[in-house]
Structures are given as C-alpha cells and as structure tokens.
Amino acid sequence: MKPLLMSSYTATSALGVGLAEQIAALKAKQSGIVKKSWETVSFEFCTGEVAGVDEVVLPDAVKHFDCRNNQLAYLALQQDGFETAVLHAITKYGPNRVAVLLGTSTSGILSTEVAYRERDPETGALPVGHRYRQTQNTYSLADFVRTYFGLTGIANVVSTACSSSAKVFAAAERLIECGLADAAIVGGVDSLCLTTIYGFSSLQLVSVAPCKPYDVARNGISIGEGAAFALLEQPERADVKQGIYLTGYGETSDAHHMSSPHPEGLGAQQAMRAALSMAGLTPAEIGYINLHGTATPSNDAAEGKAVTALFGKNTPCSSTKGHTGHTLGAAGGLEAIFSAIALTEGFLPAGVGTTELDPDIACHYLLDNQVANIQHVLTNSFGFGGSNCSLIFSKG
C-alpha cells in the first residue's frame, strides 16, 4: 500500500485529556483505573472513566446530538489542534472530499437506557425529547462529527466490537486509494454505559481489581472509555512531510466461536502476517507490539501464542489496557495513537498492573518502560466473534 500520513491526531482517556496527559501518564506508569460506583450500577467496579465528560456542553448547532458518547467525542476533538487541522483539510480538499470513518461499539446507548427509566407509566412511551437517531444509533457518532465540521462526503461507522476503530484505518486507506476521498478523519469513541457494565459482568469477564494483562493471576477486563481521532492524508498532498505513517494493515475473521478467540490465535496470526506483508516488513523489523491484551485468560493466551509463533520471544510488547481499561470500540484508535507516541517519544510503555508474568506465555512482555528509537510498531485489536485487525505505523 501507499503509506498514509497521520497529519494530526489526538487522544483522550482515563489517563487525561489530550496527548500531553497521555504521554506523561504512560511515562510515569500511571493507571486511570479506579474502583468506584457509577450511575445506577448496583455494585462498585473497576473502571477507566474520563473525568468531566458529563460537564461538556455541545455547541447549539449540534445540541440535538447531546449524549455522553458525543460529549466525549467533542471533548477530544478540541485537543491538540485537531479541529484546526481538519478545518484546514476541508479548505484544501473541499467538504465533500474529507471522509469520516469512525468506530464504536455502543455509541450513545446510555441515553436510551436512561430514557427507558422515564417511560410513560401508562403507555410505556419513551420521553418525547429522546433522540434515538442522534444518540444511540451507531451512526450518530460519525453523523455528529460530520455535522459539526459541515462535511458532505462519505461517512461511516464500523461496529465490530473491540476491533472497530482499528478497522477504520484500513477502510480509509481503501477509500483514498480508490479516489473516493482525499483525506479521512478516523478513530473511535466509546463511553461508559449500563449495557457493557452489566453485560460483561454477567459473562464473568470483569476483574474485581484493576486488570492485569498477561499476568499469571489475570481474571478479566476493566471497562474504560476513550476517544481518539487521526487525520489521514496522502503524504504528497499533506503540508507536513514527516511524521507517523500508516504503512500496513491486516484483517481476518477467526470463524471459530461467537465470543471466544481461536485458542491457537490463528486468525490473529494471519492478521499480523497480512499487515507485515502489506508494509513490506519482516517480523524482526517491528520494534514494539501494542498487544490487544484484555487480561482475560483465553484472550491473552491466544494472542500470546500468535505473537510468539510469528515474532519469537524477543520483540518487546505490552498491553496499555492496564492504563486505560478496555475502551472497547475506541481501543483500536486509542492504541494506534499510543503506537504513534512510542515512535515519536522513543519509549516503549510497560504494561501497568501486571506483576508476575504468565509462564505459559513466552512473548517479551515489558514490565518496565524501555527507551528505544524504533522505526515500526504493530498494534493488535481483536473483537468478539474473532474479528481481528492489526495495524502497522512507521516513523518517516
């Protein structure tokens, strides 16, 4: 593939708002996961909540999109000069030539969960002011961003659980390569809601303590929330000529089980192999792997087998979900930004929360930050049902 330049990018998570707070927390090995009560959930749980989301006020022009997910999206869009970069791209390419391709798993479903509590006691009707299309509807995220920027071109949302916002990078590359867009806003947003908290808890997949990816005592995820955005452009048409490039991607499906990964990680391995092939790289040229690393016993074991089979035991790797919690549909985008940070800052983040590595997983998992001037990073995102996506980012 022809590399695409990430000409601007930003991230917001439980570690803070904007790139500077992400970088500081990663370097300090801080976690944003805390045990707390939230909304009407009947028990305390460990979560990576973004501070201040409920206080975010949307502009009047997009007020009808008001929900927690779009509040989080708006908060993130205001950081790191991202909005200015998008407006410049719109001026340069035109509003119909900047695509919006975003990932989410539950969008603004919390708004409907709250609306159901306020149904008419006699008719069961939802409140008149509830706007399903602009809040819960999966497309509402892209619709919000598209409307906010006044864009008129292609807009789409990918919702494949935890691989959602990684797959949009691949979709954007195909769109631009086909000549259907000149630039693309990619990334993902997922916010806390009752569906995921109760749902993952009922599946007994939520850890009672902050998650411990790849630890011998790992016992489940910590649900988080986050938002990440990147502007992808063809390098020859971008104003900035050096930076971080998307150089490869691989997408596969396990076709194995409704929720569990293939136990040997075959789909994951095929996704990573496809990404390497597209980038024209060998496994030895990858300097760091940002693992999917959810901290469930089966997911980490399967990914560990896939990584070891392809990369051996020496490539440094870690999961950053111990920092942020699992941000589900936003995880791919967020960890793409963390991969860019590793390249630009010259350090490999250690996995926070992990203290004793699982001896049955042989990959080179980092327990301490490592200074390294690397050229290429691979990041994994694997969703329910075996939806796998691996991305490669390179420093240029």
| Non-local CB neighbours of 255 within 8 Å, separated by 6+ positions | 267, 386
% pLDDT > 90, the chain: 95
Catalytic entry in 46, 67, 162, 389: 162
Residue found under tokens 């790797």: 317
| Predicted pLDDT of residue 260 | 84
Looking at the predicted structure, is the pLDDT value of residue 242 above 90? no
- Number of helices and strands in the chain (H, E): 11, 17
Distance CA 73, CA 56 (A): 10
For the segment 2-11, the average pLDDT, to the nearest whole number, is 97
Neighbours of 42 (CB within 10 A): 6
For residue 148, the 8-state DSSP code is H
For the segment 277-302, the average pLDDT, to the nearest whole number, is 97
Mean pLDDT of the chain: 97
Specify whether 193 is catalytic.
Answer: no
| Predicted pLDDT of residue 124 | 95
Q: What is the DSSP string of 42-70?
A: SS-EEEEPPTTGGG----GGGGGG-SHHH
Catalytic entry in 262, 292, 323, 376: 292
CA distances from 166 to 1, 87, 141, 174, 246 (A): 17, 24, 16, 14, 11
Distance CA 12, CA 246 (A): 20
Catalytic entry in 211, 326, 363, 389: 326
| Predicted pLDDT of residue 163 | 97
Looking at the predicted structure, is the pLDDT value of residue 240 above 90? no
Distance CA 198, CA 193 (A): 9
Task: Tell me the per-residue pLDDT of 327-386, one tens digit each, with 9 for 90 and over.
Answer: 999 999 999 999 999 999 999 999 999 999 999 999 999 999 999 999 999 999 999 889
pLDDT confidence bin for 311, thresholds 50/70/90: very high
Distance CA 99, CA 243 (A): 21
pTM, two decimal places = 0.97
| Predicted pLDDT of residue 187 | 98
Specify whether 292 is catalytic.
Answer: yes
118 three-state secondary structure:
coil
Give just the sign of the alpha carbon dihedral 38, 42, 43, 47.
Answer: negative
- Do residues 141 and 73 make contact, with C-beta atoms less than 8 angstroms apart? yes
Distance CA 299, CA 297 (A): 6
Strands 45-48 and 155-158, how do they pair?
A: unpaired
Distance CA 370, CA 350 (A): 7
Q: Count CA atoms within 13 Å of residue 37 on its CB side.
A: 5
Task: Tell me the per-residue pLDDT of 114-143, one tens digit each, with 9 for 90 and over.
Answer: 999 999 999 999 999 999 999 999 999 999
pLDDT confidence bin for 320, thresholds 50/70/90: very high
- Do residues 55 and 371 make contact, with C-beta atoms less than 8 angstroms apart? no
If you count them, how many residues does the chain have?
A: 396
pLDDT confidence bin for 186, thresholds 50/70/90: very high
Structure tokens at 156: 């789409």
